Structure 1
Amino acid sequence: MTTCQRSQVNRGVPVHSTITPGRFGRRSTTWYGRIRDAVDHLVRSSPSRFAILVFTALILVFTVLFSLPIASADRTITPLHDALFTAVSVICVTGLATVDMATHWSGFGNILVFVGVNIGGIGVLTLASLMGLVISRRLGLRAKLMAASDSNPSRIHAGPVNEGQAVRLGEVGSLLVTVAISAFVIEVVVAALLFPRMLIDGVAVGEALWHSFYYSAMAFTNTGFSPNVQGLDQFANDYWFLSALMLGVFLGSLGFPVIYAFARAFRGPRRWSLHVKLTLVTTVALLLLGTLFYILLEFDNPKTFGSLNAGDTIFQSLFMSMMTRSGGFSTIVVSDLNGSSLLLSGMLMFIGGGSASTAGGIKVTTLAILFLAAFAEARGKQEMEAFGRRIPSDMLRLAVSVVLWGATTVAVSTILILHISKAPLDMVLFDVISAFATCGLSTGLTADLPPEGVYVLAATMFMGRVGTVTLAAALAASQSRQLFKRPEERPIVG
């Protein structure tokens, strides 16, 4: 017996046993093991590509399901472009539709919508990590990295992240529990607020229960689908109902890191991270500014707020300001807004909500960093500062990349839709921004698009939900480290 064999016997390993190659540097011999190794390699090498593949796979699965006769109310096969667009809109929690969501889908189809928006709203990677946590009762390092990437997109890039993260790796397990609990609790609370109002309005008990949870899910995930044929017309003057919707949209648009911070230190704002403070301040500021501008621009419009008194005008303006942040609900016909209000709405939709939230857009922290950089430049400072903290320059580069890629996506999609539909620019631009920002408000253009326009808008929704920076990082084959510096020269800017 050789020395190696004796050592194996001493360790309790049979001499003639064969150790199955596994994930520890060796290739598996089984087909499922090879698939597992391939997935592990993809997750390690490019989490962003893995995220895109997961989103794509889910969209394809839901496209097939929406195409089935059982998913439609009349038991017919839904056309491919409509099924695909609905799947993208559901998984990307957008809220745009090419079919009447209240009448086209059967009970099975509505359940698909309900489940899909919750999957897309929580985040595919976060949901996958949650399932792993439930099954194994613990998270591995790769699962923690995936969940942390979902809560902070900065982690998808190679190299260190200089700023203290909103969610640290050691806190990911607690974050995932918070995600699951907060999503469930918020949707239940909002549904509990909506249910009695529906009963008061004469809705049957069973229908009221289903619709209350449906509206609650659409509010928290910032989707905006309505199970009613007339949309929110029945509740347009029910301020309790509308306030409950706004509560769900607001909480969903803050982001799970902010909700996690509230859960840990609700009464200790000094312990909140810079990300939490920037998100709250920017969100509230945009909400109030949007309300003010809607009042000024629409108070004399007879088609919208012109016939309302001062109190109703303020409330409806607040509701509109909240919904353009990615909520997607509307008590008015969007196409009736003045051109100035359509442009304002497009700006608010493009900004969107908080990072790692159910909202879309470029995110409020991106806007905050751009303004902080402008203020620092105006004061002659080389570094950005906020709330007694220094923000590294690489965050500015990331913010500029997000805005640039977002604007490019909107511009290209707008040109294509203009060419396809021949519709007015303001209508096309509004719906394209709504698709990119996964907002869901529409001037009515989306429902009238031909199939080729539907595919373009579906791609725009996908780009907006997956994230332009994530998509750009996934398309990059590799990141090389440059070991030299070229001579410096400053071009003229401005």
Structure 2
Amino acid sequence: MTAPFDEREAELAGRPSRRPSVRNPGRAVVAAFAVGVVGGTLLLLLPVARSGPGGASPLEALFTATSALCVTGLAVVDTAEYWSAFGQVVILLLIQVGGFGVMTLATLLGLFISRRLGLSSRMVAAAETKSVGLGDVRRVVLGVATISLTVEAVTAALLTLRFALGYGYSPGESLWLGVFHAVSAFNNAGFALFSDSLIGFAGDPWICLPIAAAVILGGLGFPVILELVRQHRHPRRWSIHTRLTLVMTAVLLVGGTVFVTAAEWANPHTLGALEPAGRVLAGFFQSVMPRTAGFNSVDTGAMNGGTLLGTDVLMFIGGGSAGTAGGIKVGTFAVLLLAIVAELRGDPDVDLFDRRMSSGTIRQALAVALLSVAAVVVPTMVVSLTSAFTLDEVLFEVTSAFATVGLSTGITADLAPGHQLLLVVLMFAGRLGPVTLASALVLRDRRRLFRRPEGRPLIG
């Protein structure tokens, strides 16, 4: 007789599993990031980490370490001026570890879940995520490292040349600026070594486009990038996850660019201050950043209220799964959107790329989305009721923290300490919450031997 395929089948067969059972793999992910936050905070508390006299306050160190490790980009102090070279190196390492950890742990968590599923579910998972070999942990880690370092190296080289040749920085300064912003971009962190982020380079495509490209690649996720590398000549062989991520990313990029450019075209405080070509470039740049990273090439706080609300939506949706982007993820958004379309059309099933979505997938997407809405709405109400800032500003800041984007209207440093601690919790929860929640929902799937009679309460 062949060996059981997983722990559940082993239990049903009355035989012990050969592998140790890990009932809550998400706890290991949360614990690892918590340790990283503590370690980063202790390093940033050292006097040598600050450029001025004395050391950083515990809240400043905690906020910065959490923002860097959770690849967010929100800051309560000026990264370029407040932190010394040592402090900036610590921030860079936290960003690298955080981005690498997110992609690796999310991918490995997906592999673990697929091994905990039944045989039929596992075969479907293997077919739809064939870009990653089930159980090949070593290949996953090496693949993430190779892709990360390659993209970062290419981006750093382009930026270094531009800083040196176009802006007169010394070779050493150009290299440091290139490396820092390349790592920050690919890992979707949004930290910059300029006090105004990238506003000074709003019309420079040699700075904005490489950073935007790195941000987009990091936001796609490791499974998608790996499959594109291996199957770039055979699009028909792409998994449903890859096709869905690419389509939704393209739609949101085009739609976001048109929306931001049109909404801010005549605003003299944002796009209106640039030449027409620069306005289009800045509009594209600002449509990339809300979904993934916190760089900004125009003053976010000077945007129109409608633009801020649209940016909130882009931040909430986020990027691809198993990547460095935050939000509820484009796959979750797409499944819910297709479910609405199917309901409006009266279709009994939700179809995507000649595949039928299971009811469990739809329920999980709904749970992740609604819990994420609550995670944004409740803190927004708390901060709005206990501060003097407008609802637009507070909602933007809270959404940016939860979606680990890092864009800011400029109020983060002026918030009360309690509010800043709330943003710390939101950044941590937003970075790990959707991943661990989704995995927990999958692993909680259980069999029932009965079904209750159907009921239909009034809807609407």
Q: Given the two structures, how large is their TM-score scaled by the length of structure 1?
A: 0.83
Q: Which residue of 1 aligns with 2:161?
A: 196
Q: Which residue of 1 aligns with 2:9?
A: none
Is it true that 1:278 corresponds to 2:228 in the alignment? no
Q: Which residue of 1 aligns with 2:384?
A: 418
- Of residues 198-207 and 227-236 in structure 1, the stretch that sits farther from structure 2 once superposed is 227-236
Contact 1:417-1:428 at 8 Å conserved across structures: yes
Q: Which residue of 1 aligns with 2:134?
A: 169
> In the TM superposition, what is the alpha-carbon distance from 1:207 to its structure 2 partner?
0.9
Q: 1:157 to 1:418 in 2, by over 3 A?
A: farther
CA distance in 1, matches of 2:112, 2:23: 16
Contact 2:49-2:87 at 8 Å conserved across structures: yes
1:390-405 equivalences under 5 Å are 390-405=356-371
Q: Which residue of 1 aligns with 2:89?
A: 111
Gaps in structure 2 of 5+ consecutive residues: 1-18
CA distance in 2, matches of 1:288, 1:237: 19
CA distance in 2, matches of 1:453, 1:100: 19
Contact 1:48-1:156 at 8 Å conserved across structures: no
CA distance in 1, matches of 2:408, 2:95: 19
Give the partner amino acid of 1:409.
A
Residues 419-468 of structure 1, C-alpha deviations (whole Å, 9 max, x = no match): 33221000000011000110010001111112111110111111110023
Contact 1:148-1:169 at 8 Å conserved across structures: no
Q: Which residue of 2 aligns with 1:372?
A: 338
Contact 2:261-2:280 at 8 Å conserved across structures: yes
CA distance in 2, matches of 1:476, 1:153: 11
Give the partner amino acid of 2:89.
I
Is it true that 1:459 corresponds to 2:437 in the alignment? no
Give the secondary structure class of the aligned counterpart of 1:487. coil
Gaps in structure 1 of 5+ consecutive residues: 1-39, 128-145
Q: 1:270 to 1:473 in 2, by over 3 A?
A: closer
Is it true that 1:209 corresponds to 2:175 in the alignment? yes
Q: 1:234 to 1:156 in 2, by over 3 A?
A: farther
Q: Which residue of 2 aligns with 1:90?
A: 68
> In the TM superposition, what is the alpha-carbon distance from 1:277 to its structure 2 partner?
0.2
Q: Which residue of 2 aligns with 1:148?
A: 108
CA distance in 1, matches of 2:299, 2:103: 36
CA distance in 2, matches of 1:183, 1:365: 22
Q: Which residue of 1 aligns with 2:8?
A: none
Give the secondary structure class of the aligned counterpart of 1:485. coil
Give the secondary structure class of the aligned counterpart of 2:97. helix
CA distance in 2, matches of 1:285, 1:124: 25
> In the TM superposition, what is the alpha-carbon distance from 1:55 to its structure 2 partner?
1.2
1:171-250 equivalences under 5 Å are 171-200=136-165, 201-250=167-216
CA distance in 1, matches of 2:443, 2:209: 47
CA distance in 2, matches of 1:98, 1:212: 24
CA distance in 1, matches of 2:443, 2:237: 40
CA distance in 2, matches of 1:205, 1:491: 69
Root-mean-square deviation (Å): 2.4
Q: Which residue of 2 aligns with 1:61?
A: 39
Contact 2:364-2:441 at 8 Å conserved across structures: no
CA distance in 2, matches of 1:267, 1:75: 57
CA distance in 1, matches of 2:455, 2:95: 49
Contact 1:220-1:248 at 8 Å conserved across structures: yes
Give the secondary structure class of the aligned counterpart of 2:351. strand
> In the TM superposition, what is the alpha-carbon distance from 1:148 to its structure 2 partner?
2.7
Residues 205-244 of structure 1, C-alpha deviations (whole Å, 9 max, x = no match): 1111011000000100111111123432332221111111
Tell me the number of residue pairs that the alignment of Structure 1 and Structure 2 aligns. Answer: 435
Give the secondary structure class of the aligned counterpart of 2:326. coil
- Of residues 430-439 and 157-166 in structure 1, the stretch that sits farther from structure 2 once superposed is 157-166
Contact 2:96-2:187 at 8 Å conserved across structures: yes
Give the partner amino acid of 2:248.
T
Give the secondary structure class of the aligned counterpart of 1:45. coil
Give the partner amino acid of 2:88.
N
Q: Which residue of 1 aligns with 2:327?
A: 361
Q: 1:478 to 1:263 in 2, by over 3 A?
A: closer
Q: Which residue of 2 aligns with 1:25?
A: none
Q: Which residue of 2 aligns with 1:441?
A: 407
Residues 391-426 of structure 1, C-alpha deviations (whole Å, 9 max, x = no match): 222111111111111100001111122133221000
Residues 246-274 of structure 1, C-alpha deviations (whole Å, 9 max, x = no match): 11101111110101101211111011000
CA distance in 2, matches of 1:374, 1:216: 39
Q: Given the two structures, how large is their TM-score scaled by the length of structure 2?
A: 0.89
- Of residues 209-218 and 67-76 in structure 1, the stretch that sits farther from structure 2 once superposed is 67-76
CA distance in 1, matches of 2:112, 2:375: 19
Give the counterpart of 2:297 among 327, 331, 345.
Answer: 331
> In the TM superposition, what is the alpha-carbon distance from 1:311 to its structure 2 partner?
2.3
Q: 1:76 to 1:368 in 2, by over 3 A?
A: same
1:461-476 equivalences under 5 Å are 461-468=427-434, 470-471=436-437
Give the secondary structure class of the aligned counterpart of 1:306. helix
Q: Which residue of 2 aligns with 1:321?
A: 287
Give the partner amino acid of 1:97.
A
Q: 1:157 to 1:51 in 2, by over 3 A?
A: farther
Percent identity, aligned pairs only, is 42
Residues 97-153 of structure 1, C-alpha deviations (whole Å, 9 max, x = no match): 0111111112221111111111111225827xxxxxxxxxxxxxxxxxx8531x579
CA distance in 2, matches of 1:366, 1:147: 16
* Higher CA-based Rg: 1
Contact 2:113-2:443 at 8 Å conserved across structures: no
Contact 2:108-2:140 at 8 Å conserved across structures: no
CA distance in 1, matches of 2:92, 2:305: 34
Residues 322-354 of structure 1, C-alpha deviations (whole Å, 9 max, x = no match): 111112111111111000000011000111110
Contact 2:152-2:214 at 8 Å conserved across structures: yes
CA distance in 2, matches of 1:219, 1:121: 10
Q: 1:230 to 1:304 in 2, by over 3 A?
A: closer
Is it true that 1:255 corresponds to 2:221 in the alignment? yes
CA distance in 2, matches of 1:86, 1:157: 37
